[in-house]
Structure 1
Amino acid sequence: MTLHCTHPHLEQICHQGRVNTSDVLGVKNSDLVPGKYEGGLKLWEGSLDLVKTLNSDIKDDRLLMEGKHVLELGCGHGLPGIFAGLKGAALVHFQDFNAEVLRCLTIPNVKANLFKESSETSRSVGFYAGDWSEIDKLLLRGDAVQDKTTNLHTENEGHRGYNIILMAETVYALDSLPSLYRLIKKCLHYPSGVVYMAGKKHYFGVGGGTRQFLRLVTEDGAMQSDLLAEVTDGSSNVREVWKFSFK
């Protein structure tokens, strides 16, 4: 299955959000600017690793996507969330730190892949910008950033949590891991919800990594962890895909 990534028409987009477009796109030679830009415009390897793992679990009947409520955290391009929609998810929410990333990148990609025909109205899609420490109030209430040119929206009704939470390359910063884990436990449907996480084993220079997040989960004791894939292709640091579920 092919996922199409569109490139934003930068000169046509200037929406108020966490920062403005010129601030985000003016960042040079840096993947991260704390408090301003969290790397959402870059296509990270973990997104592709996550899609491959999801596809494998679906083919092997270890994962059912049809009719599920799915959340992608730190979405950027949104490829895992888009894949979930293509595989039949009934609701897909995309979250990113920067509203501009959602406007310029995520929404165009979702339009190109999930809403190729205007008659497609069977799935609900929403976009949320904000910090992990506070975004749960919006996610669980259902107040999404709407794109008024299409039928991309979520109903303004609460729901009982997400069946599946997806995240790729979200565990790079050590100080953000507690907020991320608390958000997952608040938003994941209990007791059957699952989390799929792709990321690098270590993020040199910023202190985070999959093993640091795993340690946090293990110390808390509420969820079990399963390693699904390890990628050692020599092109980057060792990458992993993990699955978390309630005990």
Structure 2
Amino acid sequence: MKMNSKIWKIVAVAFLTMMLLPAIVSAKMDVQTYQQEDSVKFVIKNTGEKPAYVFNALKILDDKGNEVYASQEPSSAEVLKINPGVSYTFEWNTDDVSEGRFRGILYEGDDKRTLKAIPTDIVIRSRPGKPKFYTDKMFYKNGESVDVTFRNMGLGTIYVNVNNWKITSLDTERVVDTLSEDCGFGYGYGCADSFEPLGFLKQVKQTWDQKDSSGDQVSPGNYMVTAEYENKQSGNVNTISTKKFIIRPPRKDRQE
């Protein structure tokens, strides 16, 4: 009889454990961040043993607590059920985000009615741009169009002055003309500076017709183009020049 009593106690404990197990086992969510060239991915994964719930919205705060990004309006977001072993990815596009400290906020919980915030701190570091300024070739026939390209080869945004690209004669050391995107290729000076953002592998291209500021064909010789840019929207203005290019004399003046 005593043995039977012990057996019944063991059975009772086992039964209660089985009944309480679902309540004891809880969902466990893990958040990992992956910084790309122009974005940050937030991967939230259910590493627990029961389903969990995630609010389908990512919120980003700056270091002062101001909201700088929301993947969607809370009123239009929904609660997602995430089964064990399943992950869900949120992505924040940082292409036009300056460096600094930020906090990503996601909401998860065991029950869709009791979601709690999961903060994740991230740092966006400075990503310098890398300007490349060049002409389409080195030698040009007299009167041939000269294509000039400013291209950003770096990850960070460059702010390029799309106006007042100075074309200089290396033989006379004089500026013979300027190229401006905002006010056309008209002859003469006077276009205001206009610094425009240029992202990774983006470019600005302008064409010079070999005319000076008076509208006359320039003399044969050596030339280069100079432009201005900034690595930030405010800061020091840098200059960059193309390599030397050569305008050949008209064919009738060239010696065979």
Shorter-chain TM-score bucket reads under 0.3
Question: What is the TM-score when the length of structure 2 is the normalising length?
Answer: 0.19
Q: Would you tell me which structure has more strand in proportion to its own residues? A: 2
User: Larger relative CO (CA 8 A, sep 6+): 1 or 2?
Assistant: 1
Question: What is the TM-score when the length of structure 1 is the normalising length?
Answer: 0.19
Q: Would you tell me which structure has more helix in proportion to its own residues? A: 1
